[in-house]
Amino acid sequence: MRATGSSRIIPRMIVEPERDALRAALERESRRLVDRVRFAPDLDGRAPGLDWTAGQLVAHLCVIYRAFALTLRGADLDPEIVANLGTGDTLLEMVASTNARAVTVISFPGPREAADGLRECADELLAALDAEVDFRSPRPTPWYGAGVTRTAGTLAALTVSESVVHGYDIARALRTRPWLDESSAASAAPTVMSEMLPLLVDPAAAGFTGSFEMRIRRAPRFVIQLEAGRARSLPAGDVEPDCVLSLSGCDALLVGFHRRSLWRAIAGGGAFATGRRPWLGLRFPSLFQLP
């Protein structure tokens, strides 16, 4: 799906995040990350299933925290950030290229310096969230493509989802037990999924037609409807869904970011499908791409 056309139009958020819950989640997750990084013996281990080391994941989070803090405040991006924006014709290509560049220009001498850098960037982001930003207001997001914008609330929720998922990645890279906080995940997952998944439809899903009501536990419901290779999010109750997917907040993010299979989430009790076509639930993860 190209990052042009409908992706430039910012509809009202289907699920507006709750500011205090997001801020508490970001503070909680970033402090856990900083502590885990600071006391790591090194940051050279690779996260299973990813090409990045723990150190590169920290660099990636630093870039996100810094760029999103500036964007939420309405400030111009640093020239260094602008210079390392990626290129591509689609949102997926833009994000993948930007991420690849970011981890090549930031490095740390050791875990302590990495932790200090991450703490500094997280504090800047927390301060931006304290500034009473209008979560409904659009913000430029050039890392998704020229002219693309997302709401401030979407960006705030993305910082939490990135912290949760990459905290999981970093823990696995360090060969330590991952931490997964359900309240943190649930505060961000509905906004992130409802606002971002429609931009990430897999071209192979062009022949699929169906709708999913997403019931993320301890969070508002919403519907994702797909037809002719496009997707849109709707408030729950606007249409009768074909499939109802119930997920824990953590499983929603891990399945959505392709860190965990839906089968595993179902087996662990973190997900189940109901509705008039419950078997469609197993297709849900394959309908969307990630950078």
Structural domain including 120 reads 5-187
In this predicted structure, the answer to whether residue 9 has a pLDDT above a threshold of 50 is: no
Digit-coded pLDDT (tens) for 59-82:
999 999 999 999 999 988 888 788
Paired with 226 in beta bridges are 210, 231
**Predicted structure pTM score:** 0.92
| Angle of CA points 195, 153, 218, to nearest 5° | 75
User: Looking at 80-236, which runs of residues are DSSP E strands?
Assistant: 138-140, 149-151, 210-216, 222-227, 230-235
Q: What is the pLDDT of residue 90?
A: 84
Q: Are 42 and 53 in contact (CB under 8 A)?
A: no
C-alpha torsion sign, points 87, 291, 22, 13:
positive
Q: What is the CATH number of the domain that holds 116?
A: 1.20.120.450
Query: Residue 262 has which token pair?
Result: 């839906």
Number of structural domains the chain divides into? 2
Mean pLDDT of 225-249: 95
Query: Residue 33 has which token pair?
Result: 């990350």
Same-domain status, 115 and 251: no
Q: Residues of the chain with pLDDT > 90: what percent? A: 78
Same-domain status, 163 and 213: no
User: Is 270 inside a domain boundary?
Assistant: yes
Digit-coded pLDDT (tens) for 118-174:
999 999 999 999 988 899 999 999 999 888 899 999 999 999 999 999 999 999 999
Same-domain status, 222 and 172: no
Same-domain status, 146 and 215: no
Sequence length of the chain is 291
In this predicted structure, the answer to whether residue 11 has a pLDDT above a threshold of 60 is: no
User: Looking at the chain, which runs of residues are DSSP E strands?
Assistant: 138-140, 149-151, 210-216, 222-227, 230-235, 243-247, 271-274
The amino acid at 262: L
Q: What is the CATH number of the domain that holds 210?
A: 3.30.1050.10
* Cβ burial 184-218 (10 Å sphere, 16+ → b, else e): bbbbbbbbbbbbbbbbbbbeebeebebbbbbbbbe
Query: Residue 133 has which token pair?
Result: 């930003």
From the list 169, 181, 188, 159, the residue with the least C-alpha distance to 66 is 159
In this predicted structure, the answer to whether residue 4 has a pLDDT above a threshold of 70 is: no
Same-domain status, 173 and 89: yes
DSSP state of 76: P
